[in-house]
Amino acid sequence: MANTRDIKRQIVSVKNTQKVTKAMKMVSAAKMRKAVEAMNATRTYSEKIREVAASLSGQSKGESPFLKPKAEVKNIALIVVSSDRGLCGGFNSNINRLVLTFAEEHSDASVKLFIVGKKAFDFFKRRNFSILEKWIALGGKFTYDTAREITGRVKQSFLEGVFDELYLVYNEFRSVAYQAAKLEKLLPLSFDATDGKEKVNYIFEPTACALLDEIVPRYIDFSVYHALLESGAGEHGARMVAMDNATRSADDMIKKLVLNYNKARQQAITMDLLDIVNGAEALK
């Protein structure tokens, strides 16, 4: 058994770590509240712009180049959204695992990546994935301008034929304790029967085709923006839960170390008493 001095040093070390994890939990909780508010504020607009785009695509005779599926899919691109920092449980590993699974299932096509976040960039760079563009060191501060910067590069690559399909990979925020890794097809755009189901008599100016050409790029921008906000909220939620678990584990470890400390101290006292008794017996 370790001596009391070593155990006491371990207790102090764990208590210091516990202070850090408590502080990180509080910071993540505050950031998460703001991120969730921003995410919820965009959900209604996200649903409505999809509804309008779906309605226009069904009524317009013209077709946007972002709506035309390719006859043969040889190149696939993924926008992978991760975090810049760790200490957030399985937040990043779930995303990385989903991308690896997708690449294995589409081994007959060339998979290219647009990466947001340092953790995913470091992971896929070591595995020799083709990375078209990266956005790192954003610090989880996602703005609409950030999304437009990403989609500007992505839309240009799609129109130039660099890839035939585009998917979004991000963590969907479902609750503080649960974030689900999600794979969502973005390009070419496709709408199911439930999209745009509300029939509205729009007055188009100048034409429905011109409006569709304006709405579709905005819808792509906002889809990426909403995914960034979902991922940002999920990251703070995952880190808050991870730090809470770390704090609880540190508390359990301190209790065990205190118990070991008391046992070691009691053993040392017993040994001292035995030495005194043996010495007294030897003097008789």
pLDDT digits 0-9 by tens, 194-241:
554 555 566 666 666 777 778 888 888 888 999 899 888 888 888 888
Mean pLDDT estimate for the chain: 83
Could you tell me what percent of the chain has a pLDDT over 90? 13
Please state the length of the chain. Answer: 284
Confidence class for position 97, pLDDT limits 50, 70, 90 = very high
Q: Which long-range contacts (CB under 8 A, 24 or more apart) does 69-74 make?
A: 69/188, 69/190, 70/164, 70/165, 70/188, 72/164, 73/109, 73/164, 73/165, 74/109, 74/110, 74/164
Q: What is the pTM of this model?
A: 0.82
Positive or negative CA dihedral for 197, 198, 201, 203?
negative
Residue spans per domain, the chain:
41-241
Going by CATH, does the domain composed of 41-241 fall within 3.40.1380.10?
Answer: yes
Catalytic residues: 88
